[in-house]
Structure 1
């Protein structure tokens, strides 16, 4: 009060009277001593009551932290909602049903330059300490090349004129020791192989806008069994390629015609011509020199990471890259179908929208992998820029769009990096984000790289990814922009790009 010019009179306390020792020694009941102002109140003081929504609690008591996720798995950064460190462990979350997580799949959404690729590479790099091995099925921008080389792994490059070949009809580990298998086990593995091949061929033929109905499936399935020797009961399955399948359909034998219930050979040729033409266009076009011969790439599952680069196909257009991703998708499933117990793997699928735009069957192929992730023990990581990437795979209301929407629900962990306001509205419509969650994505996460809203089951985390200087050197993806140009005389080596960091 003195600061405002008011002088209050001093308050002199009354002197304490003498205390009778007899009073101190007497028993005092729960209501105190009898007399005026000598006891306790019979009722307690009323409590102040506040009514508010859960969204307003943070403003009334801003220093109260919520519960975070269990500290297991890869340490990625800080959770600004719980105030503690944030660790990602999709397999552990699934096994323990943490926050209602039912599968280990992850999907990342983020505008270019928001740190999406850096966050994914950080996740894969940190999980290597826990025994995880990473398979990059189609690095379309060579973003994982520095990380592979730092770990002393040579990435495989697929492109015209390069020695690497991928046979999408490869048996993979399923074909090992076929002659030693029991009859029931051989039949089970054969069913797995033929089912995967038919799903692949349905997607490839559909990419040429040719329907693949039951009649075509019967003919193609019969040819596959004949070429591999399964029809004759051979104890060793022969490896085949797509050009061999195409040639067998072009020159059918009488047994094939009879098995497919055609009146004569000409009727078979007339009825299967659209499928043959579609396969022929692929064999002489997008598959030529890339996916038309036995596999020359050996996947070393003892290495911490394996990557297949598709950057050389980028000048050919999105359709060529999409066909290549479809072939790699089938080949990668063959490589991971018979994983040993405890063999933890991360499968990264970048730019998957290029594959999904090939048609409904291509979307079904990706859908099948996500559904089998819990059984196979793989963490499937799907990367996209925005929700419309998933919704432009077909006409509105089509089966392809419906399956693409379901893919969001097949990924229990959703990582939303910075987006524009319009994209934030799309995310809210698809994922049911609250106004506060949408604001985090379009405002806080968009303000700096590496910031993201993590939706782990029914748990929400506001995470800032933290990278060390070594992490920046291994996961930075802006070298093509920030690196200085080489010397004009061509002598010497260009300088290193500034590490930056976020």
Structure 2
């Protein structure tokens, strides 16, 4: 028994020599997976139950630092802040009107609604006129065409007063509208001295209404004649104005109290001056017919040049065009005149169409909203002071007529080419820029930066947007809506890209 007991004692291992499973797996470089202990539930009455030191948790991988980093400080203006933090943007415009693209700073859609902006007191816009500036090739024409097309669904129809290069022919044909062509040898005629819709129901009006209408018509005619005569370098003083005013009232029959107005044309005015009646000589307070001839010779020669020059047969007879105001768009094409290369004649034609368009809209029905496009307006303003005054008068009536006057230029200084620096024409041209609270600035060369700052009041950062960012891609523009600024990228549908393509001549070249 003693021997057996000794054998059992020697074969028993001590309890302290046993190895755990973790120790056995540790020999092979691994460990048993462990379940993390459950996190204690924070007290229900504490929003932030745990406090963490500003230096972080003193553990590996918890971002602990022995010293605190210096706190960065920035000093900048409110205009510079959105550049470093672009998500910080002001309130945008309401989503009404035509969707034009997206706001680059906010990423949201950008909508254009000139009439709605005028009616909204929260938006600093007091007139619906729109000026668009852009270097050729930056997408100016595409932006205009997209705006015209998209505003149709909101009840706006378009009137193109002088399509110089037939740029709007494609969208006219797409809308089943044939452009009306005017030019040498063509049958189309536009009478800029047309009475217009104010002649409707003339016999049924009382004397007060007739007096109001004749004053409106005569004022429009005087503005046009002043511009036409001024384009020939002839001064139009109050004396010339009195003579023309008397001639116009005699030709219409107003001085003879006729119940129906007679149509007036530029050749009729010229003929009345070339062979004046005794009543005209006395009414203008000239001593004799010879005195009348000597005093009015420059005026007669200026009107005669318009009747016998390059514009002969275009604006010297009654209008053959009868506008269809229910059509979505109407375009008056001047491409045939442009092909002659006479820039002065083309500018005079634009002035005549501008006056005719104003007269055609003098009795627009309430709610008949129209977008009046004045393309290549720089041609008209280069005719001189009186031509600038004519455009100025047309733009000032937009709020009363309920029309959106859309004017295109290449660069902000284009209107200033109306005369010498410091002249009256240049001063009026500068005031033209204030007749539009909505200005769209597309890509421009860096040398135009000073013009952007001096004429439009842009900051250096905003100038960089126009001369830098907007030049990197077509359709980019800085929108100035009152005193608000927006970086907008215009977006076109595939159909709009086809209708707004204007590089056919370049693409077709070998």
TM over 0.5: yes
Give the RMSD, CA atoms, in angstroms: 2.4
CA distance in 2, matches of 1:382, 1:62: 32
Per the alignment, residue 416 of structure 2 pairs with 391
What is the CA distance between 1:50 and its match in structure 2?
Answer: 6.0
Q: CA shift at 1:389, angstroms?
A: 1.1
Residue of structure 2 aligned with 1:291, choices 315, 319, 337 = 315
Distance 1:289 1:16, change over 3 A: closer
Residues 105-124 of structure 1 show CA distances to partners (whole Å, capped at 9, x for unaligned) of 00010000000011011111
Q: State how 1:45-60 maps to structure 2 within 5 Å.
A: 51-60=75-84
Equivalent in the alignment of 1:74: 98
- Which of these residues, 376, 380, 390, is aligned with residue 355 of structure 1? 380
Q: Tell which deviates more after alignment, 111-120 or 381-390.
A: 381-390
1:92 and 2:121 correspond: no
- Alignment partners' CA distance in 2, 1:477 and 1:408: 27
Structure 2 CA distance, aligned partners of 1:479 and 1:167?
33
Determine helix, strand or coil for the equivalent of 1:103: coil
The alpha-carbon distance between structure 1 residues 16 and 414, as it changes in their structure 2 partners (threshold 3 A), is closer
Q: How big is each residue's C-alpha offset from its partner over 1:131-165, in whole Å with a ceiling of 9 and x where there is no partner? A: 10100001111100001001000001111110100
Work out the CA distance in 1 between the residues paired with 2:37 and 2:154. 72
Q: Within the alignment, does 1:371 sit opposite 2:415 as a pair?
A: no
Q: Which moved more, 1:216-225 or 1:408-417?
A: 216-225
Aligned-partner Cα distance in 2 for 1:243–1:215: 20
The answer on 1:160 being equivalent to 2:198 is no
Check whether the contact 1:159–1:313 (CA below 8 A) recurs between aligned residues: yes
TM-score w.r.t. the length of structure 2 is: 0.85
What pairs up with 1:353-502 in 2 under 5 angstroms? 353-483=378-508
1:39 corresponds in structure 2 to none
| Structure 2 unpaired stretches of 5+ | 1-35, 50-70
The structure-2 alpha-carbon separation of the partners of 1:64 and 1:401, relative to structure 1 and needing over 3 Å to count, comes to same
Deviation (angstroms), 1:186: 0.8
| Residues 443-486 of structure 1 deviation map (CA, whole Å, 9 limit, x = unaligned) | 1100011110000001111010000101111222122222477x
Structure label with greater radius of gyration: 2
Name the SS for the 1:135 alignment partner.
Answer: strand
Task: Give a deviation string over 1:191-212, Cα, whole Å, max 9, x none.
Answer: 0000110110011011111111
**Range with bigger deviation, 259-268 or 444-453:** 259-268
1:269/1:53 Cα in 2 relative to 1: closer, same or farther (>3 Å)? same
* Structure 1: distance between partners of 2:397 and 2:330: 21
Measure, in 1, the Cα distance between the counterparts of 2:147 and 2:190. Answer: 27
- Partners of 1:470 and 1:15 lie apart in 2 by 62
CA distance in 1, matches of 2:103, 2:216: 42
Q: Distance in 1 between matches of 2:283 and 2:87?
A: 74
Moved more, 188-197 or 313-322: 313-322
Determine the structure 2 residue equivalent to 1:188.
212
- Asked if structure 1 preserves the Cα contact closer than 8 Å seen for 2:87 and 2:106, the reply is no
How far apart in 1 are the matches of 2:84 and 2:271? 73
Q: What SS is found at the alignment partner of 1:403?
A: helix
SS of 1:99's equivalent? Answer: coil
Q: What corresponds to 1:491 in structure 2?
A: none
Change (3 A) 1:318 1:58: same
Residue 259 (structure 2) pairs with residue 227 (structure 1): no
Residues 66, 81 of structure 1: 8 Å contact kept: no
Match of 2:155 in 1: 131
Question: Residue 261 of structure 1: CA displacement?
Answer: 1.2
**Aligned residue number for residue 63 of structure 1:** 87
Counterpart of 1:218 (choices 223, 238, 242) is 242
Find out whether 1:338 has 2:360 as its counterpart: no
Equivalent position SS for 2:203: helix
Aligned residue among 297, 300, 305 for 1:276: 300
> Is contact 2:375–2:407 with CA below 8 Å preserved after alignment?
yes
Kindly indicate whether the alpha-carbon contact (under 8 Å) linking 1:67 and 1:82 is maintained by their aligned counterparts in 2. no
Tell me what 1:119 maps to. Answer: 143
For 1:455 and 1:123, the matched residues in 2 are separated by 16
Q: Which residue of 1 aligns with 2:30?
A: none
Task: Write the mapping of 1:235-274 to structure 2, written as runs, cut at 5 A.
Answer: 235-274=259-298
Say whether the 8 Å CA contact 1:65–1:83 is kept in structure 2. no
CA drift of 1:48 comes to 9.7
Question: TM-score, length-normalised on structure 1?
Answer: 0.86
Q: Show the counterpart of 1:40.
A: none
Q: Per-residue deviation at 1:82?
A: 2.4
Deviates more, 1:49-58 or 1:236-245: 49-58
Q: How far does residue 215 in structure 1 lie from its aligned partner after superposition?
A: 1.5
* Structure 1 counterpart SS, 2:418: coil
